[in-house]
Chain A
Amino acid sequence: MDYPLRRQDIYAAILLIAFSLFIIVESWRMPREMLGFPAYAGPGMVTGLLGLGLLGMALALLVRALRRPGKGVGIRRAEVQAYFAAPETRRLGLVLLLNSAYLLSLGHGIPYYVTTGGYLLATMAVFRAASWWMIALVAGLATTGLAVVFNRIFLVPLP
């Protein structure tokens, strides 16, 4: 029987191998003797060992995935088109887009009510969470409630 995550495991293993090699090289380049401590107590000691451990596991993941039956490594154009046409992918893209836009809007002096209210309105509307009046009501109440409860009562700073 085909292993459904074969391709994903291969790509993940390649990423992990690259990451662990980067960690090992950077650990090796860290100063070996600092403040009179010997090399084995240097800052790159543990990161290097963990990088080696991760490299070993990533190689095991790669070898195991290559030996299992399943989808090949190459990605066909039709697969890409099908992936992007799927409603789940569009919803995923929208969530990431709206959330990152909200984060980008924070910390630039725009009032919290405006950024958060705008984010809630936009997200609920895009995902058709409820009727328009309900979305406006929930967004307004949630923004005001969050600001009052956390900023005024719990004294938590808002972004």
Chain B
Amino acid sequence: MLYGPYYILVEIWNLLTPMVLFHVLWATFVGTVVGMLPGLTATMGIALLTGLTFGMDPKYAIIILLCVYVGAITGGSRSSILLNIPGTPANAAAALDGFPLAQRGEAGPAIGLSATASYIGTVFGILCLAFLTPLLGQLALKFQSWEFFWLGIFGVVVCGNLTAPTDPLKGWIAGFLGLLLSLFGQEGIAAYNRFAFGIDQMRAGFSLIPVLVGAYGLAEVIAVMRERTHIKIPKQVGRILPRWTDIVQNKVHMLRSGVIGVLIGIIPGVGEDVASWVSYDFAKRASKHPELFGKGSKEGLMAAETGDNACIGGAIIPVLSLAVPGSAPAAVLLGAMWLHGIRPGPLLMVEFPNYIWEITAMLILAASASLLISLVGVRFQVKILTVPRPLLMPVVFTLCVIGSYAISVRVFDLWVMFVFGVLGYAMRTYNYPAAPLVLGIILGDMVDVNLRRALIRTDGDITPFFTRPISLILVGITLLVILSRTVWFRRAMAALFRRRPAVPTTQS
């Protein structure tokens, strides 16, 4: 690990070819536009591009997807600041202070600050990715079937809890539904066709990319086309380049948000939107001027943007070390890696130790391109925001169709995409988060195979599920997460920590 910086520099040097730079620039620009346009999210962008880059060299395909990821999370703040409409859910917190700044005629400085904070957050997350992944990878080597089973359940429960903070039951239902739907089709141990209903195509189950494109892409298309929106852009943008003093004054906020972003990124399936809100909340609590938050505070804007971008690196840490995604876009990235024959997980560090440095170098290029595009092309990007949605969304749907079809060349996958799109739209309408569903679909096979394999190994004895140290920790946290959302548990905790009234002393 001591040689890490050297390896990263070597990988960056290897990537500095005209073709890679060309792909980095266009993909980051596409990502920025995707993130910037309300209704198009980072997950949708990566899911679409996964299908569309399927035929490319895996190295180019992965770097394109990483650039779209970084570009979209960074670009999403543009519409938050200019329109008060978050480009992606991750940029919702940025709208709280970004939009008031734009109303005061400081749209340009706000965009510049958010782009700089995003860059610092992304680089912080990338460095954590480079140095924490091998450590987590070492730990992951101790994982066996019992631990992998619990890791799948833990991921779905925690993700459901955090992505549906007001109603975790709906988050858990979405997660379990995802786990179940992933088990349709031929299973991996005895090759039995589960829930195939005599349909030949169902033997392969639901392909991941059409499901993701549907749940995130088509669901967005339906939601946006259903509403009629009018977009008004501020006429004055102003100076874009941020002032050095603003950056230096907020260094502590950015460092704190970076740590929060990475930690939230590592938690399976939670992702950038939660990281952004938690970073914002912590910055407000620590600020000397909390009263300015929500009224155009630069501290709030920078904290939120650092947090969500630091989460990118954090979310890729469990992808590489455990094959468990830390966020919804990372889930699609994991699927894309599988499609291109890359097998992330505990053995990645053993079989391809340099791959972490390669991913780190790719992300550094993506972050740099994103900063460049954010600071240079803002006036042109603002014009893109004025494109009417009914003109844009049908084109997006045709991209969904190509992306879903390209992987297996099956018309059946188009209908899978359509059904999951309608399901995703219905879930969104009735407050069921899509992230646990997607995470469940990714982790379903891991849960299934590892539970059954573990039972075979122990001759049906379930004791190791609760006695092995890592299993015990995962079970404990999972139960605690579930219990913490019950009323009686909260009451018990409140009673436990309630201060007892002081006993009056009697004077004689």
Partner-B contacts on A (CB < 8 A): 5, 8-9, 12, 16, 23, 26, 30-31, 34-35, 37-38, 40-47, 49-51, 53-54, 57-58, 60-61, 64, 87-88, 91-92, 95-96, 99-100, 102-103, 106-107, 116, 119-120, 123-124, 127-130, 134-135, 138, 142-143, 146, 150, 154-159
Instruction: Tell me, yes or no, whether B54 is within 8 Å of chain A by CB.
Output: yes
Report whether B460 and A40 are in contact in the complex, using a CB–CB cutoff of 8 Å: yes
CA distance A31 to B187 in the complex (A): 13
Instruction: Tell me, yes or no, whether B228 is within 8 Å of chain A by CB.
Output: yes
- In the assembled complex, the CB of B488 is this many whole angstroms from the nearest CB of chain A, namely 14
Report whether B390 and A103 are in contact in the complex, using a CB–CB cutoff of 8 Å: no
Report whether A100 and B418 are in contact in the complex, using a CB–CB cutoff of 8 Å: yes
CA distance A43 to B277 in the complex (A): 41
Report whether A146 and B173 are in contact in the complex, using a CB–CB cutoff of 8 Å: no
Q: What residues on B are CB-neighbors of A35 within 8 Å?
A: 190
A22 and chain B: residue at smallest CB distance? B195
Contact of A124 among B54, B55, B169, B390 (CB under 8 A): B390
A134 and chain B: residue at smallest CB distance? B391
Q: What residues on A are CB-neighbors of B225 within 8 Å?
A: 91-92, 95, 127
Report whether B418 and A37 are in contact in the complex, using a CB–CB cutoff of 8 Å: no
Report whether A106 and B414 are in contact in the complex, using a CB–CB cutoff of 8 Å: yes
CA distance A100 to B411 in the complex (A): 12
Instruction: Tell me, yes or no, whether B431 is within 8 Å of chain A by CB.
Output: yes
Contact of A103 among B180, B227, B414 (CB under 8 A): B414
Contact of A46 among B395, B409, B411, B448 (CB under 8 A): B448
Report whether A45 and B452 are in contact in the complex, using a CB–CB cutoff of 8 Å: yes
Report whether A157 and B406 are in contact in the complex, using a CB–CB cutoff of 8 Å: yes
Report whether A43 and B409 are in contact in the complex, using a CB–CB cutoff of 8 Å: no
Q: What residues on A are CB-neighbors of B222 within 8 Å?
A: 92, 95-96
CA distance A81 to B192 in the complex (A): 47
Q: List which B73-103 residues lie within 8 A (CB) of chain A.
A: none
Instruction: Tell me, yes or no, whether B211 is within 8 Å of chain A by CB.
Output: no
Q: What residues on A are CB-neighbors of B189 within 8 Å?
A: 37, 41, 43
- Chain B: interface size category: 35 or more
Instruction: A42-B190, A43-B187, A46-B183 given; name 20 further pairs at CB < 8 Å.
Output: A16-B173, A16-B177, A40-B452, A41-B453, A41-B456, A43-B190, A46-B447, A54-B176, A57-B176, A58-B173, A92-B225, A95-B221, A99-B418, A119-B398, A120-B398, A123-B390, A123-B397, A129-B390, A146-B399, A146-B402
Partner-A contacts on B (CB < 8 A): 51-56, 169-170, 172-173, 176-177, 179-180, 183, 187, 189-190, 192, 194-195, 218, 221-222, 225-228, 388, 390-391, 394-395, 397-399, 401-402, 405-406, 409, 411, 414-415, 418, 422, 430-431, 447-448, 451-453, 455-456, 460
Report whether A31 and B192 are in contact in the complex, using a CB–CB cutoff of 8 Å: yes
A53 and chain B: residue at smallest CB distance? B176
- In the assembled complex, the CB of B321 is this many whole angstroms from the nearest CB of chain A, namely 24
CA distance A60 to B189 in the complex (A): 33
Report whether B397 and A159 are in contact in the complex, using a CB–CB cutoff of 8 Å: no
Report whether B397 and A99 are in contact in the complex, using a CB–CB cutoff of 8 Å: yes
Q: Which 3 A-B pairs have the closest CB atoms?
A: A129-B390, A127-B390, A107-B411
